[in-house]
Amino acid sequence: MFAPERIRIIKGILLDKKHINVSDLSAMLNVSEVTIRRDLEKLEKEKFLTRAHGGAILMDHNHDETEDDSVTTDDPFFEDRLEISEIAFHMIEDGDIILLSDGPTNQCIAKKILSKRNITVLTNDLNIASELSSNASIKVIIPGGDLDSKTMTLAGKLTEENIRRFFVEKAFIEVDGASIQRGYTVQSIEKASLIQEMTKITKESIIVCHHKSFNNIAFSQIGPLGMAGKLITTPRIPDEYKNYLFNNNIQLFTAFNAYEGGI
């Protein structure tokens, strides 16, 4: 069995039963206790659980967070986002100046790039800003604007005017919909308008979205699929998109993470 799969199962059981012991898990998943302990250690770092003698207990806040759509266990695309952030990680070099638009996948990327040094990140997502603040060598710049307190993101005229002062090398743009006919789309007009501004202040735009975004049309259009030269998603997207993107000279990156123990 693969680690992500194991972790998914462990999370499921914990959410259900609130506590679990190592030997049960080991027997159930048919892996050694050492492996289970390592998984639990990983989940403890994610603040999902607290390890106790011979087992683990679910952390309290997990009950509450399952309600909202931030990066938690019931996010059906959590694995997609992790895989996408793996690829994005390799596109960012120490010393880069980048932009991260708001959204849960870009939050995953932010987590992932904490190990980088001397990078500068421009973002309108306060979750991302707060995530990155734990590494002192990463410089974070937040534009002004209207705060959406539900998602903790900034948008509006002021945000757009502010970001025009900057120029970045790479902009990671998270979208909600991707369709051959309608191009890339997001849920709100303000967000679409802000993203259009973002693509003007970057040398290179890189679109990120999970596989269910394909053939999905959200409310407001940003631009055609050809607006960005790179796209990161997962291999489960429909074949017609793989064809279309290749034929239109758009680089399609997908993470496989097929065999976790490999190599």
Chain residues that interact with another protein, rule: CB under 8 A: 1-2, 5, 30, 86-87, 90-91, 229-230, 235-236, 239-240, 242-243, 245-259, 261-263
- Contact status, residue 128 vs residue 151, Cβ threshold 8 Å: no
Strand partners, 55: 21, 52
In terms of CB distance, is 82 or 163 closer to another protein? 82
Amino acid at 42: K
In the complex, the smallest distance separating the C-beta of residue 149 from another protein, rounded to whole angstroms, is 38
**Closest to another protein by CB, 154 or 172:** 172
The residue among 1 and 28 lying less far from another protein, judged by its C-beta, is 1
Q: How far is the CB of 237 from another protein (least distance, A)?
A: 9
H-helix segments, the chain: 3-17, 22-29, 33-45, 61-65, 78-91, 104-112, 126-132, 157-163, 189-200, 239-247
Dihedrals φ, ψ of 66, to 5°?
Answer: -60, -20
CB of 23 to another protein, least distance (A): 20
Closer CB to another protein, residue 79 or residue 197? 79
Give CA–CA dist 229/245, Å, rounded: 9
Q: Which is nearer to another protein, 63 or 236 (CB)?
A: 236
Closest approach of another protein to the CB of residue 245, in Å = 8
Instruction: Report helix, strand or coil for 103.
Output: coil
Name the minimum Å distance from CB 261 to another protein: 8
